[in-house]
Amino acid sequence: MKRAFQKPGRSREYGKALAREIDYLGLDSVAIVGIISLFVGAVVTIQTALNLDDPFIPAYYIAIATRESIVLEFSPTMVSLILAGKVGSNIASTLGTMRVSEQIDALEVMGVNSASYLVMPKVLASMLFNPVLIMLSMGLGLLGGYIAGNLTGVISTPDYLLGIQLGFKPFYITYALTKTVVFAFLITSISAYCGYTVKGGAVEVGTSSTRAVVSSSVAVIVANYFLTQILLGT
């Protein structure tokens, strides 16, 4: 694994590989992240509204609660878990197939550091692009809440717009993005490790892809606990 982070050879080729991975691992996930965020934002708003159905609690509290759930937890953690499933299995099966069909050996014989050529662009692409996805998710989550509030009438538009701005702490964004970057690193490096070290054939490639998703999801959940304690801990 250490070899994966060594200095690459021809940087232009690594640049091209990075662009390809951003396209493949990042842009390709925009749709799924968008749809999920929109609907979860809507659901969170409705549920919060039902739970805070008390005349003594101002309506804009619903929007505050929605905002905090999305920014602190849903977008960085849940979306990262979804990406662990999508991106993790993709990375493990791609690298696993390259391993068992000797494509990795072919790279090595040519004198290419296969670990760094194949793994590093994927890790970097996710660490760079997942924050963009998460910001998008936050935006669309809040939009989903806005639409749901409008459609169901659980919260009025002015209350919602007031609530999502009230007492907003910019540090929460920093916190969310820090988590995102750490999760992206965990997901891609664990999955790459699972795929890169496959021995055997098609069956083992499948197994490694499952193992990649399970291990990286667990890693995300555990890391989430510690990061929360470190960054928000009192």
Here's the x/- map for other proteins, 110-149, by CB under 8 A: it reads as xxx-------------------------------------
Here's the x/- map for other proteins, 81-100, by CB under 8 A: it reads as ----------------xx--
By the rule CB under 8 A, 197 interacts with other proteins: no
- Minimum CB distance to other proteins, residue 114 (Å): 11
Binds other proteins (CB under 8 A): choice among 23, 28, 53, 105: 105
By the rule CB under 8 A, 102 interacts with other proteins: yes
By the rule CB under 8 A, 108 interacts with other proteins: yes
Give the number of residues in contact with other proteins, rule: CB under 8 A: 15
Distance CA 54, CA 61 (A): 11
Instruction: Cite the DSSP H helix spans in the chain.
Output: 11-21, 30-51, 60-68, 79-100, 103-110, 114-152, 157-165, 170-196, 202-232
Angle between helices 60-68 and 157-165 (to 10 degrees): 50
Other Cβ atoms within 10 Å of 115 Cβ, number: 21
Closest CA to 44 of 128, 184, 154, 192: 154
- Minimum CB distance to other proteins, residue 12 (Å): 8
Cβ contacts of 109 within 8 Å, gap of 6 or more? none
Binding site for other proteins (CB under 8 A): 9-10, 13, 97-98, 101-103, 105-106, 108-112
